[in-house]
């Protein structure tokens, strides 16, 4: 039996172990064993686990998808669950951890418009640490500008403190990758000043102060390891970004939490 056949048989055995697990603990163990293989053949089972009512299994699945990396991106995007926000949050967390450019537009939309705070939180954190070094020069500017505008909006406007906290983390990480537009760094510094002075959450204020100190002392670093850039439809990403920029900034998108706030206000006023 060849090595490939042996590996294939081993993966299949681990997948069957996941399917046969009859307790929460056994499922977590089986999922951890499958994730540890870091093999693309495990992707469908790992993605399926994101919708299980088992956080331990979902964490293992997310870790496995992140380790597999680029081959997992398209399957994750294709199977984003629009109805199960818990599964969607785990999937966004995996996309954020991988940092592949193909997930950028999805992360932008999730950070600014998803009704679930867990989804917005994962997306906001991930936007700061995309694999910006993969982007061609003619696409990098618009991509980073969109990430910057989205993070500034979330950090200052989101109703949930934990989402604003994650956006501050995203802004701190984004600073490292900005090389040609010093005015963007100034925008981030100004926003952090405002957050420190005005945010209602002490946790967010403290995180913004920490981010500012790290930026000012040059301690914020994010080193990307050498990688082979896969074939990516850059034109498709650019088209989606331009389509996004064409949307009026004051338009309330479907699923935007502001939509629910307005609806609640209207209902209260009609009583």
Are 164 and 125 contacting, i.e. CB atoms less than 8 angstroms apart? no
**Residue 205 maps to which CATH number?**
1.25.40
Residues 81, 104: one domain? no
Considering the domain architecture, whether residues 166 and 191 belong to the same structural domain is answered as: yes
Q: Report pLDDT for 34.
A: 95
Got the DSSP string for 52-86? SS-HHHHHHHHHHHHHH-HHHHHHHHHT--SS-HH
pLDDT attached to residue 244 = 82
Both 125 and 199 in one domain: the answer is yes
pLDDT given at position 204: 98
Q: Which residues contact 154 (CB under 8 A, 6 or more apart)?
A: 111, 112, 120, 124, 163, 164, 166, 167, 170
Q: 57: which 2 tokens?
A: 């299994």
Q: Identify the pLDDT of residue 77.
A: 95
Shared domain check, 51 and 91? yes
**Distance between CA atoms of residues 63 and 251, nearest Å:** 36
Shared domain check, 130 and 93: no
Q: Which of 98, 121, 154 is the last residue of a domain?
A: 98
pLDDT digits (tens, 9 = 90+) for 246-270: 764 444 444 454 454 444 444 445 4
Q: How far apart are CA 205 and CA 164, in angstroms?
A: 10
- The pLDDT of residue 219: 55
- Measured between alpha carbons, how far is 211 from 168 in angstroms, rounded to an integer? 7
Q: Flag whether 40 is in a domain.
A: yes
Residue where one domain finishes, among candidates 53, 71, 98: 98
Q: What is the pLDDT of residues 158-195, one digit of tens each?
A: 999 999 999 999 999 999 888 888 899 999 999 999 99
Question: Does residue 35 form part of some domain?
Answer: yes
**C-alpha dihedral sign at 171, 172, 177, 182:** positive
CB-CB contact of 96 with 126 (8 Å): yes
Q: Do 211 and 121 belong to one domain?
A: yes
Residues 17 and 74 in one domain: yes
Q: pLDDT tens-digit profile of 91-105?
A: 999 999 999 999 999
Q: Which domain holds residue 193?
A: 100-222
- Position 259 in a domain: no
Same domain, 149 and 218: yes
* 90 closest CA partner among 67, 115, 57: 57
pLDDT for position 182: 87
For 198, other C-beta atoms within 10 Å of its C-beta total: 10
Residues of the chain with pLDDT under 50: 1-6, 248-255, 257-258, 260-268, 270-271
């Amino acid at each position: 039996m060849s090595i490939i056949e042996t590996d294939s048989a081993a993966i299949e055995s681990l997948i069957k172990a996941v399917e046969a697990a009859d307790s929460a603990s056994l499922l977590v163990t089986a999922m951890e064993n499958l994730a540890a293989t870091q093999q693309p053949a495990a992707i469908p089972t790992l993605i399926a686990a994101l919708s299980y009512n088992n956080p331990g299994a979902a964490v293992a699945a997310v870790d496995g998808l992140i380790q597999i990396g680029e081959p997992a991106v398209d399957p994750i995007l294709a199977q984003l669950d629009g109805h199960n926000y818990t599964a969607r949050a785990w999937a966004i967390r995996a996309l954020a951890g991988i940092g592949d450019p193909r997930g950028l537009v999805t992360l932008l939309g999730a950070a600014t418009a998803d009704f679930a705070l867990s989804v917005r939180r994962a997306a906001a954190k991930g936007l700061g640490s995309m694999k910006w070094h993969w982007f061609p020069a003619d696409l990098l500017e618009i991509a980073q500008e969109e990430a910057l505008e989205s993070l500034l909006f979330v950090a200052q406007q989101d109703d949930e403190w934990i989402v604003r906290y994650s956006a501050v983390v995203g802004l701190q990480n984004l600073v490292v990758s900005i090389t040609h537009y010093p005015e963007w760094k100034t925008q981030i510094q100004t926003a952090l000043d405002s957050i420190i002075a005005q945010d209602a959450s002490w946790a967010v204020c403290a995180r913004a102060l920490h981010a500012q100190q790290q930026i000012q002392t040059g301690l914020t670093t994010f080193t990307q390891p050498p990688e082979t850039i896969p074939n990516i439809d850059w034109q498709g990403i650019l088209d989606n970004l331009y389509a996004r920029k064409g949307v009026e900034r004051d338009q309330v998108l479907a699923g935007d939490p502001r939509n629910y706030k307005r609806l609640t206000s209207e209902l209260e006023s009609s009583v």
